[in-house]
Chain A
C-alpha cells in the first residue's frame, strides 16, 4: 500500500461491522461479543495511530488528505461524492475517540459484567464510535450530518439502555428531542449552503465564502451554532445533558463527556471560514459559550448527584471551548486543545464516579458518600488527578489548556471592542473560580470527611471496595493523561503548530492584561474556590440531607428552571397549536373530504343500478355505446 491514508475508511468500517455482527448474531454472540467490541475499537485506534505516523512524516502543507469513497448523490447540477478528510483536526478527534473509547470499552467489560444485555451495549458503543468517526472524518456537511445523526441515535439508545425504567426512557427521549432541535439547525444550514454555494462539501463552501453576503453567512453560521448547541448542550438547549446521566456510566464518560458533546465545538472550528465571514455570529458564539460556562458552573455547585454534578461541569467546560471557538483564529487551537485534555480528565473522573457507584451499590448521592479515600485508593488517586487537572492547577493538563483560553478571552478582537476582552475575560476568570469550588466540593464530599454511608431501601449496608483491574487500569491511563498530556502537547507550541494546516497561523496577540497578571488572577480565583469548598465541606460537618438552601441554590438545583422555561415557551404553545390544527383538520379538511366521498359514493350507487345482471341489458348497453361512439366520431363531419 503506497498511500496509508487509504486506510481511513477502515476507521468507520471496522466498528460498524462489529456493531452489525453483534446485533445480527444476537444471543449467540453473548459470550464473546464484548471482546469483539473492544477489539473493533482498539483496531480503529491502531489504524488512527498509523495515520498519525503517516501524517507526521509529511511536510505541514501536505497534511490535508482527501480520501474519495464513492459518488454518492448525483442529481441535476448537484454532484456529491462521499469522501473522508484526514487532516490534523480530524485525526486529533479520531485519536481521542478511539483511544479514550477503547479504554472505556475495556472498563465496560467489567462495569457491565452483570448486565444481561452486555452484548447489545457493546454493539451500541461500536455504533457510536463508527458514527462519531464518520462525523469527524466526513469531507462534506452532508456526510457529517449522517455521522451527526448516527451519534444522536447511539446516544439515544445508550441513555435509554435501561429503558425498562420509565424515567430513563423519558431522559433518552428528552435528549433525542433536544438534539433534533439542533439537527434542524444543521439541516437548514445545509439547505442555505446549497442555495448559496451550490455544494455542501467543505472545500467549495470555504472557497465560496468571500463571494457570499454577510447576511447569508450570518444565517448559516447561526444555524450551525444552533446545531452545535443541541449536540454540545449549550444554552439554550442544555437541559438534556443532566438527564442523559441516566445511561450507564461508561456511556456518560465516552459520549456525554469526552466525545459526542464536543462535536459542536468541532463543527464550529470546522466551519471557521463561515464564522469568520460573519462577525455577529461569532459574537453570538462567544456569548453562548460564556453564558453556558456560568450556568453549568452554578448548577454544578448545587447538585448532590455525583454524575449530574459532573454533567454540569461538562456543560461548563464545553462552554469554555465554545467561547474560545467564538474568539476566532486566536481561539480555535486552544478550544481543541482544551477539548482533548478535557476528554481525558473528564472521562477519567466519570470512570472514577462509575467506580465509586460500583463500590457503593449504584448510589449517586454525594451526601451519602464521604471518606472513601481509604477504601478506594486507586479511584481516589486517579480522580484526584482529574480534579487537579480540571481546576487548572499547574502543571496538570487543564492548566495548560484552560489558562490559554482565559488569556485568549482577554485579547481584544480584530473587530475591536475592548469591552469584549474585559467582559469575556472576567467571565472566564470567574468560571475558573466557581469550577474550583464545585469540583472541590465534589471531591471532598466523595472521598474525604466523615463516612456518611447509609443502608439502601432493602437495608443492605454498602461495602465499598476497590474495583477490578479491568476498571482501574483505564482509569490509571486516563489519570496519567490528566497529569501530563497538557504539558506534553504544549511543549514548544507543538499542538497549535500541528493544527495550523486547519486553523491557520495566528500571530500572537497581547491580552489587555499582562499574561502573568492573568495567570496569577486565575490561580487566586482557583485558590479562593478551593478554600471555600474546604471550609464548607471539609471543616464543617456535611448534613446528610440537603438543606433547603437559598433561592439561588434552589434555582441551581432545578437546572435554573430551564425545563420550566422550555415548557412554558415551547411545549405549551406547541400543544395548543397542534390541538387547534387537529380541530381544523377534523372540521374543515375532513368535512370537505367526506362530503366529496359521499358524493362519489352516491354516483357509484347510481352507476351500479345499470349493472342489473341481465345479459340482454348488457348487450343493449354495448350497442348504445357503439352508437354513441359512432356519433362522437361522425359528429365533426356533419
Chain B
C-alpha cells in the first residue's frame, strides 16, 4: 500500500471556481431556509455577486498568470493558465449577463419558468401552483452549478476531471431545459431528449477515456501526450479512444453529426436558459476541446485531421443550409449556433497558436451576441385573443399537431392560453379599456416578427445588430472573430476550411438579413403587398421573403405549426430592467469588439499559451 499523500493545493488559483460553486451550495441552503418572499432577492444577489466576484477573481489572477505562464493545481488535475483564465472570464461574464436575462420577470410579472416544475402539464396541480403565484428560485443555484462546471471544464488537466466537470455542467442544464413556463410539453420533451442524448454522449466519452487509459496507463493529458509521442506500431486503442473523447466534446459544442439535440433543446428550453447554454456551454466545451487537441493529442494531428475537417465542413454547411428553411426564430438561432460551432472549429483545427487566440476571441464575440439575441427574443410576445374569447375552450382547429410528429405542442399551447387567461398577474398591467388579450408566450414564429422594426425600432435595431454580428458584417465583433479564425485556418494550412467558411458565411448572411428585412421592411400580419396565399413561387425582392415566411409551411422539425391567420398578434413586453441592461451591455460589447478589437486581441494573445 502506498501511503496517501495529500496534494499541495494552491487554493488561490481556484478562487473563481470556488466562489461560484460555493454560492451554488449556499443557494441550495437559501431554498431550504429563507422564507419564500425573500428568496428571489437573496438568490439574485447571491448569484450576481458570486459571478461578479468570479470575474474580479479572474482579473486578479491575470497578472500573475501572464508573468508565470500558469500553474497546475491539485496535482495537475486543474491547469490555471492563460487560456483557462480567458475562458473562465468569458464564461463568468456571459453567465452574469445571462442571469440578468433569466432574472427578468418583464412587466407581466412572470419569469420564464414553470411555477412548479414537478407538476404534470395541464393538471389541476399545476393550475393550483399557478394560481398561488409560485415562482421558481431553484433556477439560480442550478445556473450556478452549471457555471461552476463550465469554469472547471476548460481548466481540466486529466480525463477524469474532464468527465466530472462535464457532468456538473450538464445535469443542471438538463433540468433547466425542462422548466419552461409556456409550452411545457415541448420543454419537457426537449429536456428528455437532451438528457438521453447527453447521456449517450457521456457514455461515449467515458468509453473513450477508458480506452485511452488502457493505452497510456494514465489519465493526465501530459502523460498521455508523452505516450502518444513514443508509441510504435499498434495504436488502435489510442485512435478509438481519442475519437470517442472528441465525440463527447463535439456533442457539447453541437457539431455535426452530433448536433441533432441542439434545435430541439434550444427551442424547448426557456429562452433565457437557451441563451445561457448557447453561449456559456459552447465557450466551456470549446475550451476543453482546445486543451484536448493541443495538449493531449498534438502528435495525433495527422491522423485526426481528416475527421476534424469533415466535422468542421459538415457543421458549417449543415448549420447554414438548414437554418435557411427554418420558420421559428429560436430554431434559426439554434442552427446558426451550429454553423458558428463550425466556424470556431476551423480556428481550433488550425492547430496553431494564432488558432488559440482566434478561437478565444470568436467565442467571446459569439457569446455576447447570443446572450443579447436570446434576451431580445424573451421580450417579443404573443398577444392572446380578447379575454372573453380566451376563456372559451380552445377551438380544435386553432392548434393542430402535424401528423407523425411526436412534438405534442398542441395541448401545451392550450394550457398557455387557458392558464394565462386565468392568471391575474398577466393582466394586471393591462389597460382595462384596451380591447386586447393577455400577453402570452414568446412570439417565435418568424412571421410574427414582421414589422417589429416599425413598432419597436430600438429593440429591433439591437436585434439587427446581433444578427449582423452573427453574419460577420464589419464593425461588429462577429466580423473580427470570423476574420481571426479564417486567418488562423489559412495560417495552419487549412485553407479549404477557410474557403468553405467564407462561402457558408455568405449564405448564412442571407437568413440573418432576411430577418432584418422582415423586421424593418415588411408590414405586420402578412406580406407587404400580397397576403400570404401560399404563393411561394419566389416573387422577387422583399415580397418573396415575406411570402416565404408568411406562407403556411409545415414545420417538419417536430413542431406543431399554426397557419398565419390563426397566429396571435405580436407585442413587445416591457422589461424590469435586468434584461435591458444585459441586452444593452451585449450590444455595446458587440460594437466595441468590432470597432476596436485590438486591445482585447492583444490581451488574449499575451497569455494564449496552454500549459503542457
Contacts and interface: CB of A to CB of B under 8 A. Distances in A.
B540 to A, nearest CB: 7
A594 to B, nearest CB: 6
Contact of B321 (A586, A600, A615): A600
B197 interface: yes
B196 A632 contact: no
Interface in A563-598: 586, 590, 594, 597-598
Interface string A226-256: 0000000000000000000000000000000
Interface residues of B, number: 43
A388 B413 CA distance: 90
Contacts of B261: 618
A471 to B, nearest CB: 46
B125 to A, nearest CB: 26
A633 B239 contact: yes
B321 A629 contact: no
B193 interface: yes
B239 A625 contact: no
Contacts of A634: 239
Contacts of B556: 608-609, 611-612
Nearest to B244: A626
B258 interface: yes
Contacts of B192: 615
A492 interface: no
Contacts of A607: 318, 321-322
B260 interface: yes
Interface in A598-638: 598, 600-601, 603-605, 607-615, 617-619, 621-622, 624-626, 628-630, 632-636
Interface stretch (B299-307, B518-526, B575-583): B299-307
Interface string B300-318: 0001101100110000001
A631 to B, nearest CB: 9
B343 interface: no
A614 B197 CA distance: 11
B406 interface: yes
Given A590-B540, A601-B324, A613-B558, A625 B196 contact: no
B257 interface: yes
Contacts of A590: 540
Pick the most buried of A609, A610, A619: most chain B CB atoms within 10 A of its CB.
A619
A603 B247 contact: no
Contact of A613 (B197, B201, B264, B311): B264
Given A615-B192, A629-B310, A621 B324 contact: no
Interface residues of A, number: 35
Given A608-B556, A615-B192, A633-B243, A598 B304 contact: no
Interface in B245-295: 247, 251, 256-258, 260-261, 263-264
A604 B322 contact: yes
A622 B257 contact: yes
A617 to B, nearest CB: 8
B238 to A, nearest CB: 11
Nearest to A606: B321
A594 B556 CA distance: 24
Contacts of B323: 604
A632 B239 contact: no
B200 A622 contact: yes
Interface in A203-241: none
Given A607-B322, A633-B306, A594 B558 contact: no
B507 A600 contact: yes
B451 interface: no
Contacts of B510: 597
Nearest to B204: A626
Contacts of B322: 604, 607-608, 611
Contact of B257 (A597, A615, A625, A630): A625
Given A604-B321, A612-B558, A614-B406, A622 B540 contact: no
B325 interface: yes
B257 A628 contact: yes
Contact of A618 (B193, B256, B303, B307): B193
Nearest to A608: B322
A624 B556 CA distance: 22
Contact of A600 (B311, B324, B326): B324
Nearest to B510: A597
Interface string B386-429: 00000000000000000001110000000000000000000000
Given A613-B406, A613-B557, A622-B251, A629 B307 contact: yes
7 contacts: A604-B322, A608-B556, A611-B322, A613-B557, A629-B247, A632-B306, A635-B306
Interface of B: 192-193, 196-197, 200-201, 204, 239-240, 243-244, 247, 251, 256-258, 260-261, 263-264, 303-304, 306-307, 310-311, 318, 321-326, 405-407, 507, 510, 538, 540, 556-558
Given A603-B321, A622-B247, 12 more contacts: A600-B321, A608-B556, A611-B558, A613-B406, A614-B406, A615-B197, A622-B201, A622-B260, A626-B247, A632-B306, A632-B307, A633-B304
